[in-house]
Chains A and B, each alone.
Chain A
Amino acid sequence: MDSIVTVRALRKVYHVPEREAGVVSAVASLFNRKTREVVAVDSIYFDLPPGEVVGFLGPNGAGKTTTLKMLSGLLYPTSGEALVLGHYPWRRERKFLQQITLVMGQRTQLWWDIPVIDSFEMYRAIYEIPHKQYRHTLDELTELLELAPLLRKPVRNLSLGERMKCEFAAALLHRPRVLFLDEPTIGLDVTMQARIRAFIKEYNQRYGSTVLLTSHYMADVEALCKRVIVIHHGTILYDGDLLGLVHRFSPEKTIVVELREGSFDLSHFGRVIEQDGARVVLRVSKDDTPRITSQLLANLPVLDLTVEDPPIEEVIGQVFAQQEVA
C-alpha cells in the first residue's frame, strides 16, 4: 500500500429532475418524474503517494468538489473504487474519519456563537486528542497562523480571513494524515491568500501530510503544487507536473519587446497581443521563437526583450476551450 489515495474508475452520476415551466408541466411532474443524467465525475483514475501536494484544477462544475466529497466520505460514488488510507471513505469508519480533514472554502465547521478556543476544545474531545498533544499542536498552529488575538473571540465576530485561519487550525488539531482542501482561498484578499498558501506549504513540509487541493485560482496551484490534475466535464485532461502542462498544451511563447522609439507594425513577426506605444507583446509559436527573436533584435531598435511562457490561466483556458469544441 504505497499510495495514500487510490482512485479507480471512480464515477458519479446525478439524476437531476427536469421540468418545463408552466402549470400543466408542474402537475404532470407529480405523476411522471422525468430526470436527466448529469455525469459529474466520469471514471477517473489516479494515485497519490504520501506527502504529496496535488492541485485539482478545473472550472466550476468540472467535478473537483464532487471528487473531494467522495474521497472524504460525504458522497457515495455511482461506480468505481476509491481507497484512502486503506479505507473506503463512504463507510465513514471512525478510524478513517480521525485521520482525514476536509476544509471547505465557504462553509464553516466552527460553532458560530462561541469563542474559537471553545470550538477547538470540542474538537479535542471529539477526536480524542490527548491533552499534551493537543496543547502542543495548538501552540504550533497558533504560532504558524498568528491566532493569539483571535482565540477568545466568537466566530461570528471574525472577518472572513481570520475565520479561514481558525478553520484551518480546527481542521488540523488532530494531525490528520490527509488534507482535502476545497477552494480554501476563495473570497480572501490577496495578502490573506498568500498567508494561507505559505501556511499550507509549511505544514506539509513539517508534517509530511498528503494534500489534495482544489482551486480555480492558478496562483494557489502555482505556489503549492508540483503535480497538477486538470479535470473538466468529469474527465481528467492532464495529470503531471505544472511545467509539463504548459509545454503540452501551449505550443506558444510570449515575447515582450520594448523599442527605443516609435510605433512599428510588428504583425508580420507574430500575433500582437498588446501594443502600448513602444512596448509590444507578441505571441509566437514555440518553434519559431529563436528565429523571430533574432529577427527582432537584428531589424529593430530594441531596448529590452524578454521571452516568457504565456500565463497559465490562458493555457488552462485554452485547454478548456478546446474541450468545449471537442
Chain B
Amino acid sequence: MKRLFDIYYSYMKIVIAMQLQYRASLLIWAFSSLVWVLIPLVVWVTVAKSQGGQVGSYSSGDFAAYFIALLIVEQTTFTWVIWEMGERIRSGQLSPKLLRPIHPIHEDVAWNISYKAITFALILPSALLIGWAFHAEFHPHVWHIVVFFPSLISAFLMRFVMEWTIGLVGFWVTRTSAINQIYSTLFLFLSGQMTPLSLLPRPLEMLANILPFKWAVAFPTELVLGRLTPTQVLLGFAIQASWLLVSLIAFRFIWRLGISRYSAVGA
C-alpha cells in the first residue's frame, strides 16, 4: 500500500508539472467541457420556457442546477482511456509498461487524477458563474453534500475500471473507434448527460436503470440536488458497488485473456 502511494505521489508530481507545460491544451479541453454542458442546459431551459416554466419535475432553475451538478460529476468521473488504448496496443507502446513491476492501469489513473486536479481550478468557478447566470435553484441539505463525495468516488472507480476494461477490446479489434463511438453514444443518452433521465420515454428510462451508465453520472447528480429519498440513495450506493464488483471481475478476466493473446501474437 505504501508502495502504491509512493508511486502515485511520484507520478502525479511529474505529470502535473508536465501538463502545466501544455496550458493551452488544458484550457481548450476545460472550455470544451463547459460548452458541452452549456448547450443542453440552454436547450432545456428554452423548452421549459415554451412549456410555461416547467417540464416534468424540472423548472428552469432546476435545469440549471441539474447541469451544473452534472458538470461537476462529469469532471470528476470522466476518462478518455478508451480512445487511447487501441493505439497503445497496436503500436506496441504497451510492451515497455509490461516490463515494469506494476500494473499499467495505475499510470492511467495517475494521469487522470492529475488532469482533473489542475482543471478543477477552472471548472469550479465557471460552474458557479453559469449557475448564477441561469438562476440555478439549488437548495441542498448538508447531508446531501456530505454523501455526495463518497458517491463521486465510487462513481469514478466504477467508470474508470469499466472503461479501462472496454478499452481492452483493442487486443482483439484493430479499429476500436466504432466501438468507442457506440459506447459514447449510449452513454450520452442513458447516463443523464443529455437530459435528466426522468424526461426520457419510459422504455428508455427503464433501460437506463439496468445499465451501469446512470449510476456513474445521473445518480450522484440527482443525489446532490436532493432529488433522491434516503432509500433511493442507499439503493444507489448498493448498485454502484455491484457494478464496481462486476467491472473488477471483468477487468481481471479480460486483462488476463488479452495479455495472453498479446503475448502469443507478438509484443
| A/B touching: CB–CB < 8 A | yes
Chain A interfacial positions (CB closer than 8 Å to B): 14, 69, 72-76, 90, 92, 94, 97-98, 100-102, 107-109, 111, 113-114, 118, 121-122, 124-128
Contact A122 B263, beta carbon cutoff 8 Å:
no
B210 to chain A, nearest CB (A): 34
CB distance from B2 to the nearest CB of A (A): 9
For B17, give its contact among A107, A118, A125 (CB under 8 Å). Answer: A118
Looking across the interface, which residue of chain B has its beta carbon closest to that of A92? B98
Q: Which of A76, A108, A128 touches B260 (beta carbons < 8 Å)?
A: A76
* Other A-B pairs beyond A76-B264, A128-B3, 9, CB < 8 Å: A74-B267, A76-B260, A107-B96, A111-B18, A121-B10, A121-B13, A122-B10, A125-B11, A126-B100
B266→A75 contact, CB < 8 A = yes
Please give me the residue from chain A that is nearest to B19 by CB atom. Answer: A113
Q: Does B102 contact A (CB under 8 A)?
A: yes
For this complex, into which size category does the number of interface residues on chain B fall?
Answer: 20 to 34
A4 CA / B265 CA spacing, docked (Å): 27
Structural contact, A74 and B263, CB atoms closer than 8 A: yes
* A227 CB → nearest B CB, Å: 25
Q: Does B92 contact A (CB under 8 A)?
A: yes
7 tightest Cβ-Cβ pairs between the two chains A and B: A125-B10, A97-B101, A74-B267, A109-B96, A94-B101, A125-B7, A76-B263
Q: Is the CB of B101 within 8 A of A74?
A: no
Give every chain B residue within 8 A of A118 (Cβ-Cβ): 14, 17-18
Chain B interface secondary structure, helix, strand, loop or mixed? helix
**B100 in contact with A97 (CB, 8 Å):** yes
Most chain B Cβ neighbours within 10 Å, of A69, A74, A113, A114: A74
A110's nearest neighbour on chain B, judged by CB, is B96
Q: Distance in Å from the Cβ of A78 to the closest Cβ of chain B?
A: 8
Residues of B within 8 A of A109 (CB): 96, 99
Is the beta-carbon distance between A107 and B99 smaller than 8 angstroms? no
Q: Is the CB of A121 within 8 A of B7?
A: no
Contact, CB under 8 Å: A125 / B9: yes
Residues of B within 8 A of A124 (CB): 10
* Residues of chain B in range 168-219 having any CB-CB distance to chain A below 8 Å: none
For the complex formed, measure the closest distance between the CB of A130 and the CB atoms of chain B, giving whole angstroms: 11
A75 to B263, CA, bound (A): 4
A242–B17 alpha-carbon span in the complex (Å): 50
Q: A74: which of B6, B10, B18, B99 is its contact (CB, 8 Å)?
A: B99
A166 CB, min distance to chain B CBs, angstroms: 14
**Cβ contact within 8 Å between A114 and B98:** no
Instruction: Check if A69 sits within 8 Å of B96, measured CB to CB.
Output: no
Report how many A-B pairs have Cβ atoms within 8 Å: 64
- Quick one: which of B9, B17, B100, B266 contacts A14, CB cutoff 8 A? B266
CB atoms of B98 and A73 under 8 A apart: yes
Interface: B50 (CB within 8 A)? no
Q: In whole angstroms, how far apart are the Cα atoms of A111 and B111 in the complex?
A: 13
B contacts, CB < 8 Å to A: 3, 6-7, 9-11, 13-14, 17-18, 21, 92, 95-96, 98-102, 260, 263-267
Contact B267 A122 (CB under 8 A): no
- In Å, the complex CA distance between A102 and B102 comes to 15
Which residues from chain A contact B9 at a C-beta distance below 8 Å?
Answer: 125
Verify A113–B92 contact, CB threshold 8 A: no
CB-CB < 8 A to B21: which residues of A?
113
- Pick from B6, B17, B266: contact of A114, CB under 8 Å: B17
Interface pair A102/B10, CB less than 8 Å apart = no
Whole-angstrom CA separation of A73 from B100 in the bound complex: 11
Once the chains are docked, how many angstroms separate the CA of A254 from the CA of B265? 46
CB-based nearest A residue for B9: A125
Query: How far is it, in angstroms, between the C-alpha of A298 and the C-alpha of B10 when the chains are bound?
Result: 76
Q: Is there an interface contact between B98 and A74, defined as CB atoms closer than 8 Å?
A: yes
B266 to A: closest C-beta gap in Å: 7
Contact call A114/B10, Cβ cutoff below 8 A: no
Query: Considering only CB atoms, which chain A residue lies closest to B260 in the complex?
Result: A76
Contact of A127 among B17, B101, B266 (CB under 8 A): B101
A14 to chain B, nearest CB (A): 7
B24 to chain A, nearest CB (A): 14
CB distance from B103 to the nearest CB of A (A): 10
List of A residues within 8 angstroms of B102 by Cβ: 126
A247, B258: Cα distance in complex, Å: 47
Bound together, the chains give a CA A114 to CA B7 distance in angstroms of 17
- In the bound complex, how far is the Cα of B95 from the Cα of A69, in angstroms? 10
Give Cα distance in the complex from A127 to B267, angstroms: 22
A40 CB to closest chain B CB (Å) equals 9
Report the nearest A residue to B5, measured CB to CB. Answer: A125
A235 to B218, CA, bound (A): 60
Given known A114-B14, A122-B10, A122-B11, contact A97–B99 (CB-CB < 8 A): yes
Question: Least Cβ distance of A110 to chain B in Å?
Answer: 9
| In the complex with contacts A113-B21, A128-B3, A74-B95 CB distance below 8 A | yes
How far does the alpha carbon of A128 sit from the alpha carbon of B10 in the complex, in Å? 11
Do the beta carbons of B10 and A69 come within 8 Å of each other? no
Contact assessment for A126 and B101 in the assembled complex, using a CB-CB cutoff below 8 Å: yes
Contact (Cβ within 8 A) B267 A75: yes
Complex contacts, A74 vs chain B, CB 8 Å = 95, 98-99, 263, 267
**Chain A: minimal CB distance from B260 (Å):** 7
B101 / chain A contacts, CB cutoff of 8 Å: 94, 97-98, 126-127
Query: How far, in angstroms, from A127 to B102 measured CA to CA in the complex?
Result: 8
- Shortest Cβ distance from A99 into B: residue: B101
